Amino acid sequence: MRKLTQWSRLAAMLAVIGTAGCKSLEVTNPNAPDAERAFSDPGAVAGLVTGAMRNWVQVRENYDGALVLSTMADAYTASWNNFNLRYYTSYGVECPERCGWDNRPTSNFRIQVEAFWYGYYGLLSSVNDVLTAIRVNDVEIGTPANTNMLEAVAVMLQGVVFSQIALNYDQGFIVDEATDLSNPLALPLEDRAAIRDAAIAKFDEAVALMTASPFSASPSTWLGVINGPSYSSAQLIKLIRTMQAEALAYFPRNAAENATVNWAQVATYGSQGLSTAGGSDFEFYTDFVQMFSGLKNWSNDGGTMRVDTRLAAVLTAGPDPSKVHVTPWPGGTGNPQPDAFDARVGNGTWGPSDDFVGSGTVTEDAGHGTEFAWSSKAIFNPTRGQFHQSNLIHIRYTYLSYPGYGLPGEDGTGPTPVYLKSMNDLLWAEGLIRGGGSAAQAAALINNTRVGKGHLAALTGAEGQAALLAALHYENLTELLGIGASPFYERRRNDELWPMTPRHMPIPAKELSVLKKELYSFGGPTNPTGLAPSLSVNGRAIPSARQIGDAMLKEQLRNRNRRHQ
């Protein structure tokens, strides 16, 4: 066994590039212990994989990332400005329609642009270190079989990082353990399509490694401090195939791009994904101390967030038009108790008593919904926009809304789904519908949730492509609510985002400033398509790197002059 040699950590470049010599931009990486110690200790190398796995699922479920994007997609709604929710999801308040990403380096609104970038590239640093240990320094971690497992999972996580950067940003870096980091500022920026393709390649490499060296169970500590689930290589291969389908299907920024997706390949990935024989939902265990889902914690708390009326108006459709919710919120007594066709909504009753935990609900009866509940209360500050109000609550994950609702097992802890078998069903079905596959098979896949959970009329496949896609879209918005930023990607690729909503994120201002590149952003009144880069934010010019530098020099001069006054 060879001792690992210290190398230039990726974190020094990606969490913020070139931070040395610029203390104001220093960022610590809790997943990057001292390189010499880590590289001489196989146990520390294994610990990097544990940390990377935990960070992956928590970054994906982040308040500042998935929760904000899902609310920007009008899946959820809230007028609070925690995580800058109000700023980024209001209509015609700070901005004529929607505000764009405020990517000014001194803005308090920039955090949401940074969350995925630093979260994902931070864990990439860790897994690249693991692969350097194994592939360059010939370190054996425990046994050859364990070493092979860690290598395969590290490559899978490289694919995770690249796929998520491609889904959320317009460009980024493709860096792995073989990248020359001797001059990190010279690393090329790659466009989102190239990053997506790199993700697909890394996923394929991980599948090949897991196929060559299968394992029966991953460590439970990877996905939980306590009660963490374990997965075999066969199960992780199915997860990878679902993530590949996601990377292709959710990549488009508009309907035009959606039409160019290789849908036959999406169907192929889906046919090998989580919902095939032996597959399962992919979960981690929330203990609400060290591991938790910010997304599910807030979105399923009826006193904190609601289902946006844009979605509620669709979900509450039923035999009595007077009980269907309207959008925007109608004011007065609000939207009525529903009587929906969909059993996930039902009549909206929920809980052991009226006004359970002060949420304005009605005592659960035989007609209750399984995943949504009705509330008579309008909980948001009306001065922040009555359009935020809604009478529908998402209750599917209430057990993760700490401190819970007083029901058995609802204490903020429990298994937390990251990817669902049903998500694979729906990706697979869309691949078949759009890629010329079997309409009958696609209908059966949609029916797994449409009929199995919603008790809606079964599809046969004879309905035609438009009807099948409409039913699929409904299931995507309903079933995938609370699953990462899926609602945002679904609205985005179908041209259903509210006007001026940005379609993706720019590279964070900190990175651009260090790279000496002009700052830019997306969305808002100066960039209404949300797609083409803009040098202004919501009507305010973004200072260039040169302007920022000049301002710093002027401030130094003013400070010097003050000392002589």
Strand 392-394 relative to strand 372-374: parallel, antiparallel, unpaired? antiparallel
Residue 468 within any structural domain of the chain? yes
User: What SS3 class is residue 217?
Assistant: coil
3-state DSSP helix/strand/coil % of the chain, to nearest 5: 45, 5, 45
Please count the structural domains in the chain.
Answer: 1
Q: Counting runs of H as helices and runs of E as strands, what totals does the chain give?
A: 19, 10
| pLDDT for the residue 532 | 86
Sign of CA dihedral 362, 367, 370, 373: negative
CB 402, CB 392: distance < 8 Å: no
Distances (CA, A) of 110 to 65, 104, 197, 546: 12, 7, 28, 20
pLDDT in tens, 236-275: 999 999 999 999 999 999 999 999 999 999 999 999 999 9
CA–CA dist 8, 533 (Å, integer) = 32
Q: pTM of the predicted model, to two decimals?
A: 0.92
Lowest mean pLDDT among 288-292, 312-316, 451-455, 460-464: 288-292
Domain coverage including residue 447: 421-479
CA–CA dist 390, 442 (Å, integer) = 33
pLDDT in tens, 374-423: 999 999 999 999 999 999 999 999 999 877 787 888 889 999 999 999 99
CA–CA dist 47, 58 (Å, integer) = 17
Tokens of 442: 């696609």
Confidence of residue 41 (pLDDT cuts 50, 70, 90): confident
Q: Decide if pLDDT at 125 tops 50.
A: yes
CA–CA dist 388, 385 (Å, integer) = 6
Residue 517 within any structural domain of the chain? no
Residue 471 within any structural domain of the chain? yes
Residue 143 within any structural domain of the chain? no
Residue 446 within any structural domain of the chain? yes
Helix (H) or strand (E) holding 385: none
Q: Amino acid identity, residue 137?
A: N
Mean pLDDT of all residues in 33-46: 68
CA–CA dist 322, 336 (Å, integer) = 8
* Residue 456 CA, distance from chain mean position: 29
Peptide linkage before 403 cis (omega within 30 of 0)? yes
CB 412, CB 288: distance < 8 Å: yes
Residue 546 within any structural domain of the chain? no
Residue 270 within any structural domain of the chain? no
Residues with Cβ within 8 Å of residue 526, at least 6 apart in sequence: 100, 534, 536, 537, 538, 539
| pLDDT for the residue 20 | 28
Q: In the chain, how long is the greatest CA-to-CA distance?
A: 85
**Alpha helical stretches, state H, 91-143:** 111-135
User: What SS3 class is residue 169?
Assistant: strand
Residue 452 within any structural domain of the chain? yes
CA–CA dist 502, 530 (Å, integer) = 4
CA–CA dist 338, 41 (Å, integer) = 60
